[in-house]
Amino acid sequence: MNPRRRTGEQSRPPMVPEEQYGPWKGMRPPHTNPSAVPADRYQRPSRPVPFRDVLAGFPSAMVFLSGVWLLVVPFLIEHPGTAAGVNAVWNDVGAGLVLVVLGATRAVSPFSTLWAGWLTLLVGGWLIAAPYVLGYRGGDAAGATANDVVVGAVVIGLTVVSLVLSLRWRGAESTRREGEGERE
């Protein structure tokens, strides 16, 4: 028996095998002292859903990409004029800029920016209503109308998913953080 072993360590197998040959026969290197390694170091976190913040922010990242699409689409689809006398391009550019900002904000911090989710729902609703409220008129009104309605529906769907995940996991994140604070 090794004289350096304590009585509590006799029942546990050593973390590193003891030297079998040479002048260090029966000894372990000092860096393998079991008390130097925290007991819970190799345990995985006990969260039922890993990477909650990434999963809750992913739909918002897709909203960000929808905003980028709205910024690019004026170069791909010809937009008609409106009954108000303004080109419909400006509606898509304005909504695209707002969606880029709100989508990026929610993707980075989905649990603390619920207000951005509610604003994104309003922008998605506006995209669906804009062709009818503004009265798109002209040759390519059908393409621009379909684009705005589809993008608006996608934005609303993704935002609802993001808000549901954020609201569902928000309480679990705050209780988990409080529990970590108590252990320190």
pLDDT for 184 equals 44
| Angle at the Cα of 131 from the Cα atoms of 130 and 136, rounded to 5 degrees | 130
Structural domain contains residue 139: yes
Structural domain contains residue 68: yes
Structural domain contains residue 27: no
Structural domain contains residue 160: yes
pLDDT for 37 equals 52
Q: Residue 158: which H helix or E strand, with range?
A: helix 141-183
Is the CB of residue 136 less than 8 Å from the CB of residue 82?
yes
Structural domain contains residue 78: yes
Angle between helices 141-183 and 52-72 (to 10 degrees): 160
Structural domain contains residue 31: no
- DSSP annotation string for 122-149: HHHHHHHHHHHHTT-BSTTHHHHHHHHH
Q: Which residues of the chain have pLDDT under 50?
A: 182-184
Number of domains, the chain: 1
Range(s) of the domain holding residue 91: 52-183
Model confidence over 104-152: pLDDT tens digits? 998 888 888 888 889 999 999 999 999 888 888 877 788 888 899 999 9
Structural domain contains residue 1: no
pLDDT for 153 equals 96
- DSSP annotation string for 73-126: GGGTSPPPB-TTSSBTHHHHHHHHHHHHHHHHHHHH-TTT-HHHHHHHHHHHHH
Structural domain contains residue 47: no
pLDDT for 182 equals 47
What CA–CA distance (Å, rounded) separates 89 from 144? 9
Provide the H-helix boundaries in 28-79. Answer: 52-72
